[in-house]
Structure 1
Amino acid sequence: MRNYFMGKYKFRALKLGIVNKLILSTLFGISFNIAINGSSLAEESTSAPLKQLDSLISSFGLGAESDEPLHPDKAFVFSHDEPTHKDGVDSIEMQWQIADKHYLYRNKFKFILKEAKNLAVGEAEKPPGEMKEDQFFGTLEVYHGDQTITLPFIRESSEAASGTLYVVYQGCAERGICYPPINKKIKLNLPAVSNANGSNNSVANSTTVDVTTSDTAPLAEQDQIAASLNSGNTLLTLISFFGFGLLLAFTPCVFPMIPILSGIIVGQGRDITTRKAFTMSLVYVLAMALTYTFAGVLAGLFGENLQAAFQNPWILGSFSLVFVLLSLSMFGFYELQMPASIQGKLTTASNRQQGGSLTGVAIMGLLSALIVGPCVAAPLAGALIYIGQTGDALLGGMALFALSMGMGAPLLLIGTSAGKLLPKAGGWMDTVKAFFGVMLLAVAIWMLERIIPAAASMLLWAALLIIPAIYMGAIDSLPQDATGWKKLWKGVGLFILIYGIMLMVGVASGSKDPLQPLKGIGGGGVATAQNEGLVFQQIKGIDGLEAALADAGSRDQPVFLDFYADWCISCKEFEALTFSDPAVQRALSGVKLIQADVTANDDIDQALMKKLGIFGPPALLFFDRSGVEVKAARLVQFMDADKFAEHVQGAVK
């Protein structure tokens, strides 16, 4: 932070009998950096400019007659009481005696806790100030006279707590002197208490330093779910999580598993029976559920997101290739195009991948859980929070398993139905296999979208639509005796063909959204710019977040933090459907927008997520003007534009 200390001194020159007023204006440019690195704090830097000014005046021999400014410690006399524990809450009272014709800025107070043990800072209770038109910072709220601020502390347990509290504040004098930020250090040693209400006041270890969280507001949805696990009714908890899983079953993070499982079953051809289809579906769902449970328990206990670790370009590319090979077998490509020697090997490998053995089906279910759907929804986040806070991996794991089985129940039903309803032979069977072959190609493209440019993915979607449309007869003439079904088939093919061509035109016009391929054509520059979405400042790691919060605090701005990753499907939904909405952009117009891109999921990204208690994207956090997170406003799942705009208004009011 760069602050400018301006001093205006009047003195009367008495030499040679000349009675004139001489105004000496001294401008000191001082680069002031609050360096807080554990054991020392450079408090002397606050008074250094004044000492330089004193030396300059003394060199003129006029020190005795100069109208010197007050030293910061005299202009703003700081004192504090010892921390107290009352009604289950620890707090400290700090007092300021502000000299006449001086004032402190209300929004410049910072309370930073370092070397914390079993302790975090809450939201400071600051009295209202007076509005002032300041020549340096514009219209701001300021304090005059005597002021008291109470700062509550939050313990994680009833054990003794300690830390070093740094109190930062800044003020000015009415005559035009603006002091640099003043900082004080308070050593905190809080004894153990008999009842610290730890369950109500707990804060994750990751949020005990500069980035703080206020728990005085209502709990966010995922925290309410975590709290519900403490209800003591295990059966009700498991039923509830099974219901949550049913609700998640048709979200973009789970829906792609439907064509995968259906393709495995259809790939068995005429040999499939209802019983075999049910067995294969059950094995697939159980493998998926157990993988979710195991990965979730690890994430809750150790903060490691295995699904995020599997969003590697090589892994995604390899898995996409598997689906391409599966789809080619659906089209009969191996039998028609390959030499017999190669055909036999490919068919054998394909059958294994399609689930010819239950082991192959289980492996596909395991990989689908890790690679296909790496999203974090509120119920999943709630279970992970509970495991992380309590260490109860048994109940948390049971809840995750129930959640996963709820997600898999529709898959089980669809897979079994596929075995019952599919035709056993003939042209219809070939058509159904071709349909699921196209669906498997769609899954492959859907996965590649996470690692390839938007234009390339749109071209792949265009090819996937245009080529099947041609096979459907979109460009062929209908015979005069064509049946209604053939006319319908051609109509569907023609529609798909047109949309595929629109995608290609969209790529040429610069569009990046497959759902709005012609958005880049027409509409005017203003509309196009408005629909581009929000413009975020990119941050990296804990240091980047703290710097952004400090900058926003100096501007008296709330902060919106978006955790994003290229492989996060819900993040893409937010980007395309929510952040591009004008109502959302208006709601966030006065908010500092920052984004943490955790696509790489490296050590720096993981440290930031662990600090904030984030298990993976999507995660949307709001911080108030003092840099404290509004915990109740945290989101970990998709929300449409209308609801999000309303949510923002409540979060930043």
Structure 2
Amino acid sequence: MKKISLLIFLISIFWFIQPNKSFALKLQADTTANASTDDGFTTVGSAEDSLANSKVKPASQVDTAKTISPTVNDKEAAKPVSLWVTFGLGLLAGIAAFFLPCIFPMVPLTVGFFTKRAESKAKGIKSAVIYGLSIIVIYVALGVIITLIWGASALNQISTDGFFNIFIFIILIIFGVSFLGAFEITLPSSFVNKLDAKSDSKGLGGIFFMAATLAVVSFSCTGPLIGTSLVAINTDLLTPIVVMFGFSLSLALIFTMFAIFPSLMTGLPKSGGWLNSIKVVLGFLELGLSLKFLSTADLAYHWGILDREVFLAIWIVLAILLGVYLLGKIKFSHDSDLAYVSVPRLFIATASFVFAVYLIPGLWGAPLKAVSSLVPPLSTQDFVLTEGGNSTPTKTDVHTKRKYSEFLHIPHGIDGFFDYEEALAYSKTVNKPLFLDFTGHGCVNCREMEAKVWSDPRVLKKLKEDYIVVSLYTDDKTTLPEAEQFNSKVLKTTVNTVGKKFQHLQAEKFNTISQPYYVLLGTEGQELVSPPIGVEYDIDKYLAYLDKGLAEFAKQKK
């Protein structure tokens, strides 16, 4: 009874944690203060993109040691992904895992296991519940181990590192190819056999090892799914635990229900080739997702290996191949013969073909707003046919070449700057307010804002005509000249790249570490509207913010 109480206690702990707020905000100060000297990237796929970023300060100035603490501005700008969303992602991954060929065929084995052991209906239900709780404990324990090994701040730093993005790209490629049937990712057979032997023992130990056997045997299917879920969202203290809890809860509920009510098995479809088809579909999805991580590294380091049209061409080919596969025109090694195309297959194949057709205009510069946050920006495209996709400035006035403009770009033809000091000096000569755009190459929400808000004619008119726009990329890896490098007490590292220069600026001047972050300044560098804003998809509210800045600027000029 004590063991049962312990299991229930471990699960109930989660419900006393308020998962509507991410621990990332609470730990931002420590994350920045302990920033590594390694190059950092903005976080991919999340609402608090590029968490560990900060400010630029002229090298001639003396650093002032300052602890970056989360402020009201920070909370409004970051808008972290709710842990309920993280939990939901884990649930969906668990449901998807159930229909994979490594897990689905184990349902009758599980039912048979409990049918043999059950001396009465009450004991059978008790054993099934313990089995479900054991599944949850095993997977949540794995999440706890991941957190304990790396810690919250380390997880965030790892997720924003350039080499980590390359590593994740390679891992997802391996997972995707594995799901396509090229090879199986399995654990040592001796380890699996030992767990299986212990599952035959009586008592709670046997039930627990039965659950452990399920986790180990299904690793070739669940491993890629869990890995993808963990890297597709921001990593803070609770992320691994919550993902594992959601994932295991799905599996536990399903297997527990079948163990308690074996008659439900009669309503399940028979195992067959459709299970492998689900696995192949997930393989295609993982191959497509992997490109986002490669793109993040490519943009920050300016390798130029994955321009927008190359990225889209690969996605188009993958979408077409997926549709052709679902129609039975392509057969992989583990596939069985397809006698006919079912209605679900037809609908999914159609959706895949529609997605491919939607992407095709992007090869000639169409904005593709639905996926703008995932694909590289238009500035990386070599050929743009549409007028709206032209990424070159529309201004006709002649000016000297602006700093960093040879490798940094602002969308929608905005003729802006990429260096704070240079933009501030220019604003004084033309007597216009500054629009500071703290952004990042890997910032998903930044691309969403540019595609959905900046593209509005009213917003774009104000940015082009009423403000001096300066886009400050906080994750760019271009090396600064040695004379401009300095030690930052705020970041506790040497500022030796363009990105770190503007990381330092944001942290020291504005005491915030999130992107996107939009600040309106006067010609003397004073804030016109406080607090600044971050992600704001309501165009009317965004316009009101810009109008308020213009009104305050006009008032100060009098």
Question: TM-score, normalised to structure 1's length?
Answer: 0.45
The letter of the residue matching 2:416 is Q
Matching of residue 329 in structure 1 with residue 178 in structure 2? yes
With over 3 angstroms needed to count, the CA separation of the structure-2 counterparts of 1:325 and 1:207, relative to structure 1, is: closer
Q: 1:470 corresponds to which residue?
A: 324
Task: Give distance in 1, aligned partners of 2:309 and 2:361.
Answer: 11
Task: Give distance in 2, aligned partners of 1:407 and 1:558.
Answer: 44
- What's the offset of the Cα at 1:453? 1.8
CA-atom RMSD in angstroms: 5.3
Q: SS in structure 1 opposite 2:472?
A: strand
Q: 2:350 corresponds to which residue?
A: 494
Task: Give distance in 2, aligned partners of 1:624 and 1:210.
Answer: 23
- What's the offset of the Cα at 1:470? 0.5
Q: 1:222 corresponds to which residue?
A: 74
- What's the offset of the Cα at 1:407? 7.6
Whether the 8 Å CA contact 2:91–2:246 is kept in 1: the answer is no
Q: 1:535 corresponds to which residue?
A: 414
Matching of residue 620 in structure 1 with residue 518 in structure 2? yes
The letter of the residue matching 2:471 is Q
Match among 503, 524, 530 for residue 359 of structure 2? 503
Q: 1:433 corresponds to which residue?
A: 279
Q: How does 1:131-142 map to 2 (within 5 A)?
A: none
- What's the offset of the Cα at 1:319? 1.5
Partner deviation per Cα, 1:319-367 (whole Å, 9 max, x = no partner):
12212222232233327xxxxxxxxxx5449999x97499999999799
Q: 2:406 corresponds to which residue?
A: none
Whether the 8 Å CA contact 2:136–2:252 is kept in 1: the answer is yes
Whether the 8 Å CA contact 1:211–1:629 is kept in 2: the answer is no
Q: SS in structure 1 opposite 2:469?
A: strand
Whether the 8 Å CA contact 2:436–2:471 is kept in 1: the answer is yes
Match among 455, 472, 475 for residue 580 of structure 1? 455
Unaligned runs of 5+ in 1: 1-203, 213-218, 227-240, 299-304, 336-345, 376-399, 477-481
With over 3 angstroms needed to count, the CA separation of the structure-2 counterparts of 1:571 and 1:524, relative to structure 1, is: closer
With over 3 angstroms needed to count, the CA separation of the structure-2 counterparts of 1:564 and 1:516, relative to structure 1, is: closer
Task: Give distance in 1, aligned partners of 2:467 and 2:523.
Answer: 10
Q: How does 1:388-399 map to 2 (within 5 A)?
A: none
Task: Give distance in 1, aligned partners of 2:247 and 2:549.
Answer: 37
With over 3 angstroms needed to count, the CA separation of the structure-2 counterparts of 1:405 and 1:283, relative to structure 1, is: closer
Task: Give distance in 1, aligned partners of 2:294 and 2:135.
Answer: 29
Q: SS in structure 2 opposite 1:537?
A: coil
Unaligned runs of 5+ in 2: 1-53, 65-70, 111-131, 193-213, 259-267, 299-305, 331-338, 373-377, 395-409, 478-496, 552-558
The letter of the residue matching 1:617 is Q
Q: 2:541 corresponds to which residue?
A: 643
Task: Give distance in 1, aligned partners of 2:327 and 2:273.
Answer: 16
Q: SS in structure 2 opposite 1:634?
A: coil
Which protein is bigger by CA-based radius of gyration?
A: 1
Whether the 8 Å CA contact 2:101–2:275 is kept in 1: the answer is no
Whether the 8 Å CA contact 1:469–1:494 is kept in 2: the answer is yes
Task: Give distance in 2, aligned partners of 1:318 and 1:532.
Answer: 29
Q: SS in structure 2 opposite 1:334?
A: coil
Matching of residue 449 in structure 1 with residue 325 in structure 2? no
Q: SS in structure 1 opposite 2:546?
A: helix
Matching of residue 553 in structure 1 with residue 428 in structure 2? yes
Whether the 8 Å CA contact 1:620–1:636 is kept in 2: the answer is yes
The letter of the residue matching 2:512 is I
Q: SS in structure 1 opposite 2:370?
A: coil
Match among 82, 104, 113 for residue 245 of structure 1? 82
Whether the 8 Å CA contact 2:435–2:467 is kept in 1: the answer is yes
Q: 2:5 corresponds to which residue?
A: none
Task: Give distance in 2, aligned partners of 1:638 and 1:355.
Answer: 42
Whether the 8 Å CA contact 2:140–2:245 is kept in 1: the answer is no
The letter of the residue matching 2:316 is A
Whether the 8 Å CA contact 1:552–1:625 is kept in 2: the answer is yes
Q: 1:515 corresponds to which residue?
A: 370
Percent identity of equivalent pairs: 16
Q: 2:136 corresponds to which residue?
A: 278
The letter of the residue matching 2:356 is G
Task: Give distance in 2, aligned partners of 1:621 and 1:502.
Answer: 35
Task: Give distance in 1, aligned partners of 2:506 and 2:414.
Answer: 22
Matching of residue 610 in structure 1 with residue 515 in structure 2? no
- What's the offset of the Cα at 1:590? 0.4
The structure carrying a bigger strand percent of its residues is: 1
With over 3 angstroms needed to count, the CA separation of the structure-2 counterparts of 1:261 and 1:644, relative to structure 1, is: farther
With over 3 angstroms needed to count, the CA separation of the structure-2 counterparts of 1:561 and 1:599, relative to structure 1, is: same
With over 3 angstroms needed to count, the CA separation of the structure-2 counterparts of 1:583 and 1:408, relative to structure 1, is: farther
